[in-house]
Structure 1
Amino acid sequence: MQLIVGNRLTDFAEATGAITAQAAIERLAQKSVEGGFVIGQGVRDEDARVIRVLGQATGVDVHVFEEDGLRAGRSVCHKHDPVNELISMPRKVEENVFEADMLMDDRNEIMSDHLTGLHLQGMLLIEATRQMFIAVGETQYSHLGVPKGGYVVFNRLDTRFEQFAFPIPTVIRQSVTNIEQPRSDRTSFSAHIELFQEQGRVASTYVEYTIFEAASLKPKEEKLACKAVESVMRRAEDAELTIVEEGLTQRKAG
């Protein structure tokens, strides 16, 4: 039995005896497979579908550890391109505790410009964590009036990397520790998010964040943005005036 990983993860495949998705498809098409396959991280959705269909047609077992293997979608992950969606839809496992599967495509924006060694980049884990806590807030607490597609503001994000994460099946677990609604247009959360692989917990994050109604926060954000730009322009004008005054002083001195 072999682990299937994304086509770009050739170093990992060569070092561990795994196989890339394209190579797995070719072997299945040629009916030259002994044993079965386990789908890991980095495999593109279209490749995974082909592998499952060919596996069924040739009698080769294709194991998928994820609950459903379906990405949560644009409105949940807050990503326009599906290849940047990193999680499945969160599912409730107990009161205020939720889990999702990490579903990484090797064309992900974070993977596109940085591949080092055999492990998954820390920024990829942070992005999966970010998508998880937004998704949990918007999909699991709608009964509190938490809006979908709202403005999400992070107040605190503390991440610890405990060991290397590899392109293998990964579960994300969020435990919500506190919920507050200081005003009717916003809900604040505190939570711990953990990422687990076969070797144990690979990363953990403590986060505090608030989800606002877009209509309530947007005007305030625009006002602050305009104020910031005005401050920059004043500083630039002051610097220009200083340069002109220094030039005049030098000419007089000369």
Structure 2
Amino acid sequence: MSKPPRESLIVVGDRFEEFLRNPGTIAASAVLARLEAGDTGGLDLMAGQGLSAELLAELDKQWPAQRPAPLELTHKQRMKNVMVGEPTRVDGRYEAPLVLDERCETLEDHLTGQHIPAIALTEAARQTWTAVTEKFFPTGLGPARFVIDDFHASFHAFVFPLPATLTYEVVEHEPGAVQHRFHSVVRVRQSGAVAAQIEVRFRLVAEKLVDKQEAMAARQAVADCLRG
């Protein structure tokens, strides 16, 4: 007797309830219940978006699943707020999977319709250039801060809670004694198409220098405010 066909489903966080009405999707809570009951026979699961690091780790035991990047690469303090996987270098550019936890700070209070909000994609882009810089561009500056000089985002299509990739291209890198300048482009790709593009110019500045500049600017801002 032939075996029954396996069912292929994409696992999506429960907060994407409108998207979960689409055939071929299954809520994270339903998968957790089946994992706890040992009832996953006949399933081929693919990790979508909105899943916790803990659930991704459980899924990875049976089906390949992306994992969030380490906290130190993304400059976040809570794992639920890490939105990308660890970047890799591919043909002169860099790639990182989108790995959204539905509890993250950019989704927990703003989620409408079926798509991922633009604000979440821009934060994922920021985490991408931060992680790539930390991993692949040792500057010798010691502790340093990221300072954005210019930022432009364009959105071409909805990004849904499905697998997606961020590609990162360094257009120009200007090293220096106390700071490094970068001109870069991040593209959010889903189903083979570019859905969003974020172009940024930022500096990586030695922490001692930027702390001094910020403190002086803060004192001046208070004085200007008091003068009315």
Question: TM-score, normalised on structure 2?
Answer: 0.90
Say which of 11, 17, 20 aligns to 1:10. 17
1:144-159 aligned within 5 A: 144-145=139-140, 147=142, 150-159=144-153
What displacement does 1:33 show? 4.9
Within 5 Å, give how 1:186-225 maps onto structure 2.
Answer: 186-198=179-191, 200-225=193-218
Cα distance change of structure 1 residues 153 and 32 upon mapping to structure 2, 3 Å threshold: closer
Q: Is the 8 A contact 1:21 1:43 kept in 2?
A: yes
In 2: Cα distance, 1:48 partner to 1:72 partner: 12
Separation (CA, whole Å) in 2 of partners of 1:146 and 1:195? 30
RMSD: 1.7
Say if 1:41 and 1:104, in contact at 8 Å, map to a contact too: yes
Equivalence for 2:39: 31
Q: Structure 2 regions of 5+ residues with no counterpart?
A: 1-7
Superposed structure 1 runs of 4+ greater than 4 Å apart: none
State the shift of 1:130 in Å.
0.7
Matched ranges for 1:37-116 at <5 A: 37-53=45-61, 56=62, 62-64=63-65, 69-95=66-92, 97-116=93-112
The structure with the greater share of residues assigned to helix is 1
CA 1:52–1:114 in structure 2 vs 1: closer, same or farther (change >3 Å)?
Answer: same
Q: Counterparts of 1:88 and 1:80 in 2: how far apart (Å)?
A: 15
Aligned equivalent of 2:225: 232
Aligned partners of 2:141 and 2:156: how far apart in 1? 32
Q: How many residues align structurally?
A: 220
CA distance 1:87–1:52, change in 2 (3 Å): closer
Task: Give the CA deviation at 1:215.
Answer: 0.9
User: Following the alignment from structure 2 to structure 1, what is the Cα–Cα distance between the partners of residues 211 and 83?
Assistant: 27
Q: Distance between the aligned counterparts of 2:40 and 2:86, measured in 1?
A: 35
1:121-155 per-position Cα deviation (integer Å, ceiling 9, x unaligned): 0000000001111222222110x4255x5211111
**In the TM superposition, what whole-angstrom CA distance separates every residue of 1:29-84 from its partner, at most 9, and x where no partner exists?**
2526533111111111112233444xx4xxxxx343xxxx2322222111111111
Distance change in 2, residues 1:6/1:152 (3 Å): same
Gap change, CA 1:146 and 1:87, over 3 Å in 2: farther
Contact kept, 8 Å, 1:137 with 1:146, in 2: the verdict is no
- Could you state the TM-score of these two structures normalised by the residue count of structure 1? 0.81
Please give the alpha-carbon distance, in whole angstroms, between the structure 2 residues aligned to 1:157 and 1:16: 38
Q: How far does the alpha carbon of each residue in 1:6-49 deviate from its partner, in whole angstroms, 9 at most, with x for none? A: 12222211234411111012234252653311111111111223
Identity %: 27
What SS class does the counterpart of residue 174 from structure 2 fall into? Answer: strand
5+ residue gaps, structure 1, are 57-61, 236-254
Give 1 or 2 for the bigger CA radius of gyration.
1
